Amino acid sequence: MDFFDVVSVQEAINRLMEAFKEYEFKAEEVSILEATNRILAEDIYSHIDVPEFNRSTVDGYAIKSKDSQGASESVPSLFNILGEVRMGEAAEKEIKSGETMYVPTGGMIPQGADGMVMVEYTEKLDEENLMVYKPIAFNENIILKGDDIRKGERALKRGKRLTPESIGVLAALGISRVKVYKKPKFYIISTGDEIIDLDEELELGKIRDINSYTLYSAIVKLGGEITGKAIVKDDYELLRQQVEKGLDISDIVLISGGSSVGARDYTARVIDSFEGRGVFVHGISIKPGKPTILGEGKGKLIVGLPGHPVSSIIVFGAIIEEFIYKKMEVHNHKLKTKAIMDFNFPSSPGQQTYQMVKLEERDGKTYASPSFGKSGMITLLSNSDGYIIIKPHEEGIYKGEEREVYLL
């Protein structure tokens, strides 16, 4: 007999998206100096060409490239020097055949020129005459106008996590403030009569609260904010009070423990007690993490995460992170690498299995070997480098096959 009405990971995410299709993570405008790691909430289109003029990438002389054809040490090409282009100033003169101007690195290429000869391949005979010892190709040593970013082009896409490089793009476009998503707010509740906090004395039968700390850290890593955190005993009223408090100040309330079918597992009842859709998933075919609950109360997402530390963090990544990233249109957010499987591993058909692995480099190749342990053991995660997702239709892992490893 199964106490759960188990659905696939995909179906759980579909129901979540459906239940919260009207829910919006709000945006705010911040300075680009405060935008690192934040998620862009708007597309950024360029209103200019970057660079706005053809620029030299070297210190040297701007010429018509065909004038240098055949130039060598023994038979240099001769040019008439018109002057020099100053940094930060427009090049006023036009280059004609046989003419040249000195241009510093980053300086503007004068009209008519289509290549730069590096200064080391030239020799000045006097202030007006230059010898060039080497031929150059068309557009050699030049960044053309719009080569970096073209006017009208989408330079950054909504859903992009802003890196130092993307901040550089914004700076290049002269954009000092951007719209980013507000940090999603989470309230974390650990439930269980046996759970004690770090400053409490550890008596026999009690265990320290691990989950609210790992979840706290996972939320910070994701770019979220924690509005509060609490430990509550297995008591319906106390749990309800905490959930209500969380709902009023957060986007998402996480409840760890109490999601299974034990006599004192109140999570589902508490979720159903609030105005709203109530529980819409109770049980997901994921291993570990099967007894997960998803529900809606007062318009907010309430999640009952399994109490086992590994299960709670895996479900957080597989379901909650996916939900937030889907809403914010963040793509390719999982860090992954390819590795050769160093082991055979049968999986449970019909379940999406998360198998922890360790990575090892041998002869220039990356191999993955399994980490074994129960989902109640936090070191199963901390001793692993990543995990492999075995899909429900697969029979398991075959030694020698190459698979993607998602990094922890």
Which positions lie near ligand MOO, rule CB under 6 A?
A: 287-290, 306, 308, 311, 375
Measure the CA–CA gap between 2 and 14, rounded to whole angstroms: 22
Which residue has its beta carbon closest to ligand LQZAQKY5?
307
Taking residue 92's Cβ as centre, other Cβ atoms within 10 Å add up to 12
Binding residues for ligand LQZAQKY5, rule: CB under 6 A, are 190, 192, 194-195, 207, 209-212, 256-262, 265, 288, 290-291, 306-309, 311, 375-376
Kindly tell me which of 107 and 309 has the beta carbon lying closer to ligand LQZAQKY5. 309
**Residue 258 binds what, of ligand MOO, ligand LQZAQKY5, none (CB under 5 to 8 Å, by partner type)?**
ligand LQZAQKY5
CB of 289 to ligand MOO, least distance (A): 4
Measure the CA–CA gap between 89 and 104, rounded to whole angstroms: 11
CB of 168 to ligand LQZAQKY5, least distance (A): 41
**Residue 87 binds what, of ligand MOO, ligand LQZAQKY5, none (CB under 5 to 8 Å, by partner type)?**
none
**Residue 307 binds what, of ligand LQZAQKY5, ligand MOO, none (CB under 5 to 8 Å, by partner type)?**
ligand LQZAQKY5
CB of 295 to ligand MOO, least distance (A): 18
If DSSP codes are grouped into helix, strand and coil, which group holds residue 388?
Answer: strand
Q: Which amino acid is at 15?
A: R
Both tokens assigned to 345 = 């591993």
CB of 8 to ligand LQZAQKY5, least distance (A): 17
CB of 394 to ligand MOO, least distance (A): 18
Geometric angle at alpha carbon 173, from 167 and 178, rounded to 5°: 55
Measure the CA–CA gap between 320 and 199, rounded to whole angstroms: 29
Strands (E), 93-157: 99-103, 115-118, 122-124, 129-132, 142-143, 154-156
**Residue 287 binds what, of ligand MOO, ligand LQZAQKY5, none (CB under 5 to 8 Å, by partner type)?**
ligand MOO
**Residue 260 binds what, of ligand MOO, ligand LQZAQKY5, none (CB under 5 to 8 Å, by partner type)?**
ligand LQZAQKY5
**Residue 210 binds what, of ligand MOO, ligand LQZAQKY5, none (CB under 5 to 8 Å, by partner type)?**
ligand LQZAQKY5
**Residue 77 binds what, of ligand MOO, ligand LQZAQKY5, none (CB under 5 to 8 Å, by partner type)?**
none
Strands (E), 111-266: 115-118, 122-124, 129-132, 142-143, 154-156, 177-181, 185-191, 195-196, 207-208, 225-232, 252-256
Measure the CA–CA gap between 18 and 16, rounded to whole angstroms: 5
Measure the CA–CA gap between 17 and 40, rounded to whole angstroms: 20
Kindly tell me which of 212 and 352 has the beta carbon lying closer to ligand LQZAQKY5. 212
Kindly tell me which of 121 and 266 has the beta carbon lying closer to ligand LQZAQKY5. 266
Measure the CA–CA gap between 140 and 144, rounded to whole angstroms: 10
Kindly tell me which of 345 and 367 has the beta carbon lying closer to ligand MOO. 345
Closest by CA to 353, choosing from 330, 370, 329, 332, is 370
